Amino acid sequence: MGARFCLSALLLSGSLSGCGLADDARVECRCTVDTDVILFPACLDAVLSAERPDAANPFAARLPDCPSGKRLSLLEPTRAEFVLFNIKTTVEGFSPLQYLDQLAEEFFFIPEPEGMDLYLEVYHPPEGYVAEQDTLWTRAQERTFAVGVLDRSRFQRVEFRRWYESSKDQRTVSEDGRSEVFFFPYELDFVPQAGSGDQEVLGIKGRMEVEIYTPTAENPVWSLRRWQDFRDAASAKRTWTEARAIFSR
């Protein structure tokens, strides 16, 4: 059965109660794959169903679907590099749910040391931390980050100045063909909305290494399993490590 989400009825304009209800009225809606998870963050963890539980009875009181966000047109992840394309598209399109779809269940992020040291209260590295052995950031933390940063009320657009380019960047394929590692520079600008409280463009720059894998080489479905960040010593811009810390607090 699709998940239900009970919320204060303040849709559309932020001050509108909706449906003629009083300001303190509450209404239930059903989480779907199209729900806007910025407005309804509880739907991120919901168990979704494509079929309505009341579909067989046209006279039943129908639980309304929670309002949807724009569904982006993405590539089927039948090739590893398509996952990188989809990540870029979902960030540009402010779609945290579709962004998370590109990540493996066992996803983990490895922060770059300098950025991690700036935000020890976020990353909590253990004594004797070893990047290759200790996992500080998993899919759960990435979900919080995605919802925090892919927020149109805060940013009007994200500009990718540098991302993976197959003709320039390094790509390594495993012997069994089920894992591909990409190493490339990144540079992005998060441009704030007027009046959002953020006065300056948030620029991030560095290098990143990602492993994208598929459980089987036959009829592959690729997802991003490991993401490691590296600082560009020649740049004064922030890194993915710092951005994750800022938007996860």
Q: Identify the architecture of domain 80-246 in CATH.
A: Roll (3.10)
Instruction: Annotate 79-98 with b (16+ C-beta within 10 A) or e (fewer).
Output: ebbbbbbbbbbbbebbbbbb
For the chain, domain boundaries = 1-69, 80-246
Task: Supply the pLDDT for residue 23.
Answer: 36
Query: Which residues of the chain are modeled with pLDDT < 50?
Result: 1-2, 4-27, 52, 54-61
Task: Supply the pLDDT for residue 194.
Answer: 86
Q: Rounded CA gap, 144 and 148, in Å? A: 6
Task: Supply the pLDDT for residue 51.
Answer: 53
C-alpha distances (whole Å) from 35 to each of 3, 20, 54, 125, 156 are 11, 22, 19, 35, 20
122's enclosing H/E stretch is helix 120-123
Provide φ and ψ at 86, rounded to 5°.
-70, -35
Q: Rounded CA gap, 224 and 240, in Å? A: 16
Q: Are 2 and 49 in contact (CB under 8 A)?
A: yes
Residue entry with tokens 């779809």: 101
**Cα-based angle 5, 11, 16 (whole degrees, multiple of 5):** 135
Q: Rounded CA gap, 174 and 80, in Å? A: 12
